Amino acid sequence: MALDFQTLVVAVSLAAAFCASARILLWRMHPDVPGLGHWGWAGILSAIALALYSQMHGLPRWWMLPLPPLLASTALMVAWDGFRRFFGRSPLPRATWVVLAAVVALPPYAASALDWTSGRILTNSASIGVLATLIARELWRPSPWSGLATRVTAYTYAATALFMVLRIAAALRGPEVDFNGPFPSLSLLWWLANSVAVALGMALMTGERLQWDLDRQASQDPLTGTLNRRAFTALATREVARSRRTGRPLSLLAMDLDHFKRINDQFGHAVGDETLCRFVAVAIGQLRGNDILCRFGGEEFVALLPETGTEAAWVVGERLRLALTAADAIAAGPPLTVSMGIAELQPTDTMEDTLKRADAALYQAKANGRNRCVMAEPSATAVAVH
C-alpha cells in the first residue's frame, strides 16, 4: 500500500518536533552536562528543516529551495559541536564554522540558481554525508564516557552517511528526480527513523555519563582525586588474585605525612587540604601507570605496586620521598615529608595481613625519626633502611 505523502509529512514533522522536545527536556534536566544545549538546538533546527521540506517544492523563490537541507546541515554542525563539548574536547574553532558554512551553503544555492534539481540533491547529500561522517568519527574517538550508547549513536550517523551516498548514486544514475514518485517518501522515512534513533542515542549517552560520574564519586576521594578505601579494596582483591595466579610479586607502600596535624593547627585546614593535594601530585608523578594510589584516611595513603618485589618497592618509595623533599624546597607551603612502611605479599598473606605488616613498618619509620622508608620482614619484624 502506497504511503500518502502529506500524511507522512505530518507524521515525520510531529516525530521530529517530539524528538527536539525530548532533547530540550534532557538539557533542562541536566544543565550541567556539557553539550546537551547544543543537542537541543540541533533538534530544533532539524525539526524546522523537516517541516520546511514538506513545502520545499511550493516555495516561491529559488533562493529558498536549499533552505531545508541547509538547516539540516546546520543542525549537524551544532550537534557535532555539542558532541565535542560532551566529551570534554575543545569547541569547534570559529574558522571551522566559517569554512563549513561556505562549503555547505554555496554549492546548493548555485544548483538552485541554475534550476538543477539533481544538482541540489548531490550537493545537499554530500554536505550532510560529510558532516555525518565527521560526527561518527568524533563518537569513535576514545573517551571515559564512551560506551555502548556512544557506539550505537556512531553507527546511526555512519548509516546516515551511507544513505547520503545512496542518494548521490541515485541522482547520478537516473534522470531528474520525480517528486511525485517514492523518492521523497523514502527520504522522509529515513529522517523519521534517524531522528528517533539519534534522540534515543543522546538520552542513553547522557545516562552512561551520569552513571560514570556516580561511579567515580563512589570510588574517588573528593579532595585528592585518588581512589577511596572502598574502591582500593576491590582493586586490591583482584591484584592479590592475579599475583597468586601468575606468581608475580605484589608490594604495598603505607605512607603517612609527617606532622600533618601540626600543619592543620598552625596554617588551617585550607592549607592542610592543599598539602594533601601537593603530596598526591608528587606521588602520581613518581608512581607507574599500573600502580594504585589510595587515600586511606586523613593524611594516610596506600600505594599498591603490581609486579614489584620488596627491594624494587623500596626504590620506588625512596624516589617518591626524595621527590617530595625536592618539591618541598621550592613550594610556598609548609614543610612536608613522608614516612613509609613497605611490605610484600607473602604466599600465605591476605591483603589485610600485608597491610598490617606495612603499618607496623610505618610506625617503625616514625619511631626512627620520620622522613624515611622501612621494609617489613615476612615475620612482621621491621628493619629500618635509610
Q: Is 188 helix (H, G, I), strand (E, B) or coil?
A: helix
Distance CA 230, CA 302 (A): 13
Q: Catalytic amino acids?
A: 299
Residue 313 burial class via C-beta count within 10 angstroms: exposed 0-12, middle 13-18, buried 19 and up: buried
- Alpha carbon separation from 193 to 78, 108, 196 (Å, rounded): 20, 25, 5
* Chain-centroid distance, C-alpha 192: 29
DSSP state of 220: B
Cell numbers found for residue 276: 594533601
CB 229 within 8 A of CB 220: no
∠ CA(69), CA(72), CA(76), 5° rounding?
Answer: 140
* Residue where the block lists cell 574536547: 89
Per DSSP, what are the bridge partners of residue 105? none
CB 128 within 8 A of CB 76: yes
Distance CA 44, CA 40 (A): 6
Amino acid identity of residue 106, one-letter, is: L
Q: Which of 40, 33, 45, 131 is nearest to 87 (CA)?
A: 33
Distance CA 215, CA 230 (A): 12
